[in-house]
Amino acid sequence: MSGKKRIILAIAVVLILAAAIIWGICGKNQNPTDVSNTTAEPTAELTTAPTAELTEDQTAELTEAPTVEPTEAPTEAPTEAPTEAPAETPTKGSLVQTEGIIIPVIDDLKKFEIPDTEAMALLRDMKCGWNLGNTFDAYNGYTDYFSGTGMETSWVGVRTSRKLIATIKEAGFNTIRIPVSWHNHVDENNLIDREWIHRVREVAGWALDEGMYVIVNVHHDNDKKFLYPDTAHYDRSAAYLTAVWAQIAEEFKDCDEHLIIESMNEPRLVGTQYEWNWNSGVSECRLAAKYINQLNQLFVDTVRASGGNNATRYLAVPAYCASPGSTVDQAFQLPQDTVENRIIVSAHAYTPYNFALNIQSSDRTFDLGKDQKKKEEIASFMNKLYNRFIKYGVPVMMDEFGALDKGGNLQDRVNFTAYYVASASTRGITCVWWDNHAFSGNGERFGLIKRSTAEWVYPDIVLAMMENCLYNREAETAEAPAA
């Protein structure tokens, strides 16, 4: 082959090889199965599209979390973060409405003028509450001393759990009252057993951690050896309660104003014909009211003197047996205080009595359309509380109320609860249900939740409270105290 032919052949080979290379490159770039094209688009979505919708916290969470396959991230990240419900909107948590039970929403009551004050705003922020009854208020007579915390379970058989407190909060409650009987845990020098008071503080702390208001009191100490409002026993009552209040105040002085201390529970002349029957025309009752006023004053002075947050803490005081009748009587006087408008009036009313509390009564109905007399009975005592206190800016809470189970009358109890709570709320009053963890037997069955499992037995009653506890209070302008 001549030299010229060799040159032509070499050029042809080079051209063929070049064409093959060019075809291969172009063909590869058109291959739809190449992995480089499947990763490019998700990566773009991960780094640009989601972050446009995510909050700062979400973006940090997305970038700092363990590595995730790129194709999974876009399905999780773009969702908007859940927001907490506004404080004025009652939440229902895990409550499940019972089939066939109607939850009334009361919307036809008169709307009373509620003073625009910090104290009234605090009552509004408390919304509605629940009593941890028959627990720390359990006692064993009035003579024996018990160390440790065993008394907590002696009546209900269940030790209070943090899960229970969280469940109460989840249901929408913003207040827990912790009734405490101290006399079985006080020695001859009036010193409280440290284990007992620390356990009370622990449970109260769980509720405070949930952002709830907590009421701690002196409960079943109504006995001549400890608290009895008559002349013969006043000095002993004053010494005992001053000593106990001083220790309680010291234990809780660093808690913020979500902690409320209540002086006494239903102080009364135990064992007399007037124990549950206030009569302003009887000298014994008037004298008892005088001593209760003095004990309430000692309570305020003792707590304020302890310093810390107790210097300005909201304090609660009852009248004789905490009944509305004695509370609105002029014999009951609010204690003097070193700070303005920090005294809350506490009262109890299981009204109408035959329906709500009287076990022997056959009255088991509360029909919103027919039982006008029962509704008027509720409105009557609440009007008196409003006219004496609330219209002048003095806060009032019904820190015990309820309607016992009479077997098969759940709808009536729900109706009652809705009307009672709405009637209180429209006047600026906050209500706290009495739960004694009783569900069976012939006693006062006020239980709502099974404490061992934190499961609601009567969720419909709770729902009725949540739906009506802010009636006429949604538009208040005063700000509640900061947490």
Q: Give pLDDT tens digits for 119-147.
A: 999 999 999 999 999 999 999 999 999 99
CA-CA distance, 427 to 110, in Å (whole number)? 9
Give the burial string for 29-58 (b: 16+ CB within 10 Å, else e).
eeeeeeeeeeeeeeeeebeeebbeebeeeb
List the chain domain ranges: 3-76, 118-468
User: For residue 336, what pLDDT is reported?
Assistant: 99
pLDDT number for residue 10: 52
Asked if CATH classification 3.30.450.20 holds for the domain at 118-468, the reply, yes or no, is no
Which tokens hold the place of 430?
A: 């906050």
Percentages of the chain per state (helix, strand, coil), in multiples of 5: 40, 10, 50
Count of residues making up the chain: 483
pLDDT (tens digit per residue) in 206-248: 999 999 999 999 999 999 999 999 999 999 999 999 999 999 9
Residue of 308, 309, 215, 233 lying closest to 270 (CA atoms): 233
Query: Per-10-residue mean pLDDT for the chain, 483 residues long?
Result: 51 49 39 32 30 32 30 31 37 81 98 98 98 99 96 98 98 99 98 99 99 99 98 99 99 98 99 98 98 99 98 99 98 98 99 98 98 98 99 98 98 99 99 98 97 98 98 63 40
First to last CA, the chain: 102
**Residues annotated catalytic, as ranges:** 219, 266, 400
In this predicted model, what pLDDT tens digit does every residue of 428-467 receive, in sequence order? 999 999 999 999 999 999 999 999 999 999 999 999 999 9
| pLDDT at 78 (0 to 100) | 32
pLDDT at 94: 77
